[in-house]
Structure 1
Amino acid sequence: MILGEHLVAAVENLHLANRPVMLHTSLRSFGTAIDGGADTLIDALLAHGCTVLTPAFTEPQFGLPAPADMRPARNGLDYTAPVVEKHRPETVPYAVDCGLVNPRLGVLPAVLIRRAGAVRGRHPLNSFAAIGPRAAELIDVQSPDDVYGPIRELAERGGAILLVGVGLDRMTALHLAEQRAGRRLFTRWARGEAGEVRMVEVGSCSGGFPRLEPVLGPLARSVVVGASRWRAYPAQQVLATATAAIAADRHITHCPDADCLLCRHAIAGGPTTA
Structure 2
Amino acid sequence: MTLSVPQLAAVADELLPPGRPVMVHASLRSFGEPVEGGPDGVLDALLGRGRTVLVPAFTESFFLAAAPAHLRPGRNGTDYATPPDESARPPGHAFRVDCGLVDPAMGALPAAVLARGGVHRGLHPLDSFAAVGPLAAGLAAAQSPSDVYGPVRALAAAGGTVLLLGVGLSRMTALHLAEQRSGRRLFVRWARRPGGEVFRFLFRGFPPVRAVPAPLRRDADGARLAVDGLPGRPGAGGGGRRAAGRPDADALRGPLLRGLPRLHRRRPRGAGAARLTCAGCQFGVHTVTG
Structures share fold, TM-score greater than 0.5? yes
* 1:105 and 2:102 matched: no
Q: 1:213 corresponds to which residue?
A: 217
Note closer, same or farther for the CA distance 1:230–1:42 as it changes in structure 2 (3 Å cut).
same
Q: Deviations over 1:49-108 (max 9, x none)?
A: 110000011000000011101111100012223644664236411011111100000011
Where does structure 2 lack aligned partners over 5 or more consecutive residues? Answer: 233-241
Q: 2:231 corresponds to which residue?
A: 226
* 1:123 and 2:141 matched: no
Q: 2:237 corresponds to which residue?
A: none
Give, as a single letter, the amino acid of the residue that structure 1 aligns with 2:118.
G
Contact 2:95 2:125 in 1 (8 A): yes
Give, as a single letter, the amino acid of the residue that structure 1 aligns with 2:22.
V
Name the SS for the 1:117 alignment partner. Answer: coil
Contact 2:92 2:194 in 1 (8 A): no
Name the SS for the 1:29 alignment partner. Answer: helix
**1:35-184, aligned counterparts within 5 Å?**
35-81=36-82, 83-84=84-85, 87-89=88-90, 91-184=92-185
Q: 2:285 corresponds to which residue?
A: 267
Contact 2:120 2:130 in 1 (8 A): yes
Contact 2:121 2:131 in 1 (8 A): yes
In structure 1, C-alpha distance between the alignment counterparts of 2:58 and 2:47, rounded to whole Å: 22
Note closer, same or farther for the CA distance 1:250–1:258 as it changes in structure 2 (3 Å cut).
closer
Note closer, same or farther for the CA distance 1:91–1:177 as it changes in structure 2 (3 Å cut).
same
In structure 2, C-alpha distance between the alignment counterparts of 1:245 and 1:90, rounded to whole Å: 44
Name the SS for the 1:101 alignment partner. Answer: coil
Deviation at 1:241, TM superposition (A): 1.9
Give, as a single letter, the amino acid of the residue that structure 2 aligns with 1:16.
P
In structure 2, C-alpha distance between the alignment counterparts of 1:90 and 1:80, rounded to whole Å: 23
Deviation at 1:252, TM superposition (A): 7.1
Name the SS for the 1:219 alignment partner. Answer: coil
Q: 1:250 corresponds to which residue?
A: 264
**What is the aligned length?**
270
Deviation at 1:172, TM superposition (A): 0.3
Contact 2:186 2:202 in 1 (8 A): yes
Q: 2:251 corresponds to which residue?
A: 237
In structure 2, C-alpha distance between the alignment counterparts of 1:121 and 1:265, rounded to whole Å: 28
Q: 2:235 corresponds to which residue?
A: none
Q: Deviations over 1:2-56 (max 9, x none)?
A: 1112111111221432210000000100111101011111111211211000001
Deviation at 1:222, TM superposition (A): 2.2
Give, as a single letter, the amino acid of the residue that structure 2 aligns with 1:263.
C
Note closer, same or farther for the CA distance 1:243–1:194 as it changes in structure 2 (3 Å cut).
farther
Q: 1:20 corresponds to which residue?
A: 21
Q: 2:239 corresponds to which residue?
A: none
Where does structure 1 lack aligned partners over 5 or more consecutive residues? Answer: none
Name the SS for the 2:222 alignment partner. Answer: helix
Contact 1:209 1:253 in 2 (8 A): no
More moved, 209-218 vs 126-135 = 209-218
Q: Which has the higher strand share?
A: 1
Name the SS for the 2:227 alignment partner. Answer: strand
Q: Deviations over 1:226-249 (max 9, x none)?
A: 225311010012123201222355
Larger RCO (CA under 8 A, 6+ residues apart): 1
In structure 2, C-alpha distance between the alignment counterparts of 1:142 and 1:89, rounded to whole Å: 27
Name the SS for the 2:130 alignment partner. Answer: strand
Give, as a single letter, the amino acid of the residue that structure 1 aligns with 2:210.
G
Give, as a single letter, the amino acid of the residue that structure 2 aligns with 1:208.
R
Deviation at 1:209, TM superposition (A): 6.0
Percent identity, please.
44
Q: Deviations over 1:108-159 (max 9, x none)?
A: 1011101101111110111000000000011101000000000000001110
